[in-house]
Structure formats: structure tokens, C-alpha cells
Amino acid sequence: MKLHVSSRLAIFALLELAARPEQQLSVAEIGEKYGVSSHHLAKVMHVLGRAGLVRSARGAGGGYQFSGNARRMTLLDVILLFETLESQNHDPAVGELSEEGHALREVMSEIDDIIRATLGSITIATLHKLVRRQRERRPRRTAAAS
């Protein structure tokens, strides 16, 4: 499964902001770290703002601040703001009404269920712990990248 680029950016931005809830970060600062244009990221931030997960701060430099609950916000909550998962896509697939189509669907829905359960059980706070673990495992590489 590949996440839509907006979902990925949203998760990265939330990780950055949730790690420094007192601070404001600008779209440019976040964009620079992940190598994306401020233009694309600004659209993502707008959606996150509308969902109440971030707050835009006015004034010079006007950045964003985290306003959600990182321990309760799951990756699925964030992703569903930007895309639908396969299991929610109700467009009929080729051959779906045949017995073969049903059998194939049964197999594919196993995968969908696991995706849903996985994304729905990892919160931003949990992902943050996993980031820390990566950092501990690969201290040199991360230091070089940041």
C-alpha cells in the first residue's frame, strides 16, 4: 500500500508540530526538512487546520501550532482526511460480481482489514516513539540528515 503524498505530508507535519507543541513552525521550515514545496504543504496544513488538528498563528512569520491530542490521534484519522482506503471504495471492480471476483475480494479484504487495524492503532505519539527508536538505531545517519 502506498499513501497519498498529502497523507504522508500531513503525518510528517503533525509529527513535527506535536514534538514541539509550544512552538510555531512555518510551512517553509517543515517543507525544507521533507524536501517539498511550501505550496503543496500549505494546502495540507489548511485541511489539518479545518479538522482542528493544527492552529495557524497570525503575526510575523505566521506558522502553525499543534492543537490535537497526539496520544489519541491515529494515523487512520489523519489519512482519512486526504484519501479513502480501498475497503471504502464502492466503485465496482472488474469481474467483481462473479464467484471468482468474490473469492478474490475475500483475499483482498484480508489485506484491507490489516491495513485499517494497523493505521487505526498507531497514534502520532506512538509513531513519534518509533522515530526515536530509528534515531537510536542509526544515530550517525540521522545526525547527518538533520
Ligand X SMILES: CC(C)(COP(=O)(O)OP(=O)(O)OC[C@H]1O[C@@H](n2cnc3c(N)ncnc32)[C@H](O)[C@@H]1OP(=O)(O)O)[C@@H](O)C(=O)NCCC(=O)NCCS
Angstrom distance (rounded) from CA 133 to CA 42: 29
Residues that bind other proteins (CB under 8 A): 71, 74, 113-114, 117-118, 120-123, 125-126, 129-130, 133
Taking the CA atoms of 142, 137, 114 and 104 in sequence, report the sign of the dihedral they define. Answer: positive
> Which listed option, other proteins, ligand X, none, makes contact with residue 100 (CB within 5 to 8 Å by class)?
none
Site string for ligand X, 61-90 (x = CB under 6 A): ----------xx------------------
Footprint of ligand X on 29-68 (CB under 6 A): none
> Which listed option, ligand X, other proteins, none, makes contact with residue 114 (CB within 5 to 8 Å by class)?
other proteins
Q: Which is nearer to ligand X, 19 or 57 (CB)?
A: 19
Q: Which is nearer to other proteins, 7 or 123 (CB)?
A: 123
Q: Interface residues with ligand X (CB under 6 A)?
A: 71-72
